[in-house]
Amino acid sequence: MASNGYTNGYTNGYTNGHTSDRSGIEVSFDEADYAATDIIKRDFCIIGGGSTGTYTAVRLKDYNKSLVLIEKNDRLGGHAETYRDPASGVTLDIGVIVFGHLKEVKDYFQRFNVPLKKAEITMGAPDYVDFKTGRKHDFKPPVPEEIGAAMHKYAIQLMSYPEVQAGFALKYPISEDLLLPFGEYMKKYQLEGMIQAAFSYCQGYMPFLELSTLYVMKYWNADLLNTLSNGFLMTETNNIGELYSKAAQSLGSDVLLNSRVASMDRSASDAVEVVVDTPTGNRLIIAKKIISTIPHHKHNLAGFDLSDTEDSLFSQFTWSGFWAGVLKNTGLTQYHPIHTYGPDKVHGIPDMPGIYAINPSRAPGLYQFYYGGPGDLSEEEVKKDVIDSIKRIQKERSIEAASDPEIVKFANHTPFNLIVPNQAIRDGFYDKLYALQGQRNTWYNGASFHAQDSSVLWRFTEALLPRILESVK
Ligand SMILES: Cc1cc2nc3c(=O)[nH]c(=O)nc-3n(C[C@H](O)[C@H](O)[C@H](O)COP(=O)(O)OP(=O)(O)OC[C@H]3O[C@@H](n4cnc5c(N)ncnc54)[C@H](O)[C@@H]3O)c2cc1C
């Protein structure tokens, strides 16, 4: 059985009561209890303003549909976030950076006049370091020819599973290869040459060698392989935030930031009612349909009036923890990355939690880090381990830093990579999940319904849009 082996303790302090908001105060679905300005009537109520929710909102406007977009954070973008170094003014993308050569990607950036360029990987060969000791190891990764040959074999394998590339419309009985732990799958098909490359790209996927092959194939997918050979796209200014602020501008007051669902009623056949807790008080949203794009694990659906089926499906998801950020005062002067390495581990792939990589950034003196671990690690534990890891490297290299290392920006991307156990997959979990589409006036979208990849999620959205539009005719 493949499971991420972690316990997930993700709670957000909300009660899941049908009539209670976060402070336990009764909420009402009665229009008479709201000022006219607090009642929002729309075709769609989109929940989650990350990659998928924002794209869906922008595209629905193209079809002259009215909508409101609810986002819990103070900005759109989700895992896409940009840090601006106050000292140099340089912008650094600290989450989503690269995109594939898809029509949807090019059209989306073009409409907001955000230029793209081919991503440049100019950081040079990494040092391989055991972050638990700070020690550098003389690890020689496979040569490019070996990696290329393994990827070629893997690409042929992927062609056997087109259903995995397009979504989760899986064929039954499920191929047992898809359920093999990825480490065993690689061994079976002699793909070891690409294992380090796959591990360093599939950050947030844990424990990597034990994860069901299906989930790696969702991320390390055919589009990605294609993009790897053509080069990724990224914004010219290293500022993905520009796309999301322009999207937010175009959506205007239809975006409710710092807002969450307090309660919901989907019992009527022709409309849904959603009470949303916003910084200026509760709003009553009356919409024809809901489109939910948030990570669909049960605790994150507080306020939703889940059916027994929805409840039993979403309760099965587990996830990993993934964090990123920006460091200063590292005392490092090298302009090449430091990658994690587990001495005495198969293929040098270490046990997590720990840092995946520390990369030099475009901003003078700043380094970016990525950290993975169980979903219930606290931010404090992660921050402490990041700083301690830098100090261990400093000690190993006799670096006399003038000041202690400092995290100047910290981003919590947990919960990441929602998965279910192999037995659930065999028992038709994803068929049951997809059967929810359109039921109870609700459409589902986002990474938990497809893949952790913005480009393919936008294409997935395009494929779903005709059904969504048809449902409000
Ligand atoms: C560090 C990092 C780097 C990555 N790099 C890339 C990359 O370079 N290229 C790429 O294609 N992909 C990358 N990814 C994958 C990325 O996760 C996906 O591309 C994409 O963000 C998934 O889109 P989504 O809409 O499902 O989720 P998100 O973009 O995470 O959007 C979900 C949104 O819902 C909001 N939300 C959550 N719960 C609630 C709630 N209860 N109520 C209201 N709002 C809520 C969240 O705040 C968020 O804004 C990266 C991910 C991480 C973490």
Q: Residue 242: pLDDT band by 50, 70, 90 thresholds?
A: very high
| Neighbour-count burial of 13, counting CB atoms closer than 10 A to its CB (0-12 exposed, 13-18 middle, 19+ buried) | exposed
274 CB within 6 A, ligand 1: no
Q: pLDDT tens, 388-408?
A: 999 999 999 999 888 899 999
C-alpha to C-alpha distance for 110 and 233, rounded to whole angstroms: 13
Q: pLDDT tens, 126-185?
A: 999 999 999 999 999 899 999 999 999 999 999 999 999 999 999 999 999 999 999 999
CA distances from residue 94 to 52, 99, 197, 221, 413 in whole angstroms, order as listed: 18, 14, 20, 22, 11
Pair (282, 191) in one structural domain: no
Average model confidence (pLDDT) for the chain?
92
Helix, strand and coil in the chain, % to nearest 5: 35, 25, 40
Candidate of 54, 71, 79, 443 to mutate for ligand 1, largest count of ligand atoms within 8 Å of Cβ: 79
Distance 96 CA to ligand 1 centre (A): 8
Pair (223, 160) in one structural domain: yes
Q: Output the pLDDT for position 229.
A: 80
What is the percent of the chain with per-residue pLDDT over 70, rounded to a whole number? 94
276 CB within 6 A, ligand 1: no
Pair (381, 430) in one structural domain: no
Residue 9 pLDDT > 70:
no
Candidate of 52, 96, 448, 458 to mutate for ligand 1, largest count of ligand atoms within 8 Å of Cβ: 96
Q: Which residue has the higher pLDDT, 22 or 355?
A: 355
Pair (209, 339) in one structural domain: yes
Candidate of 14, 15, 51, 464 to mutate for ligand 1, largest count of ligand atoms within 8 Å of Cβ: 51
C-alpha to C-alpha distance for 370 and 101, rounded to whole angstroms: 25
Residue 235 pLDDT > 90:
yes
- Domain extent at residue 442: 31-79+238-317+420-470
Copy the structure tokens of residue 42. Answer: 């729309």
Pair (218, 340) in one structural domain: yes
Output the residue whose Cα is nearest ligand 1's atom 36. Answer: 48
C-alpha to C-alpha distance for 413 and 418, rounded to whole angstroms: 12
Q: Output the pLDDT for position 17.
A: 32
Output the residue whose Cα is nearest ligand 1's atom 12. Answer: 453
Q: pLDDT tens, 287-299?
A: 999 999 999 998 8
Residue type, 72: K
147 CB within 6 A, ligand 1: no
47 CB within 6 A, ligand 1: yes
Tally of domains within the chain? 2
Pair (337, 391) in one structural domain: yes
Would residue 86 count as lying in a domain? Answer: no
Pair (139, 218) in one structural domain: yes
Output the residue whose Cα is nearest ligand 1's atom 23. Answer: 51
Pair (252, 344) in one structural domain: no
453 CB within 6 A, ligand 1: yes
Candidate of 454, 459, 460 to mutate for ligand 1, largest count of ligand atoms within 8 Å of Cβ: 454
Mean pLDDT for the stretch of residues 16-38? 70
416 CB within 6 A, ligand 1: yes
Residue 46: CATH number of its domain: 3.50.50.60
Give the strand pairing for 127-130 and 338-340.
parallel
Q: Residue 122: pLDDT band by 50, 70, 90 thresholds?
A: low
Q: pLDDT tens, 207-234?
A: 999 999 999 999 998 888 888 888 899 9
Distance 179 CA to ligand 1 centre (A): 25
Residue 20 pLDDT > 50:
no
441 CB within 6 A, ligand 1: no
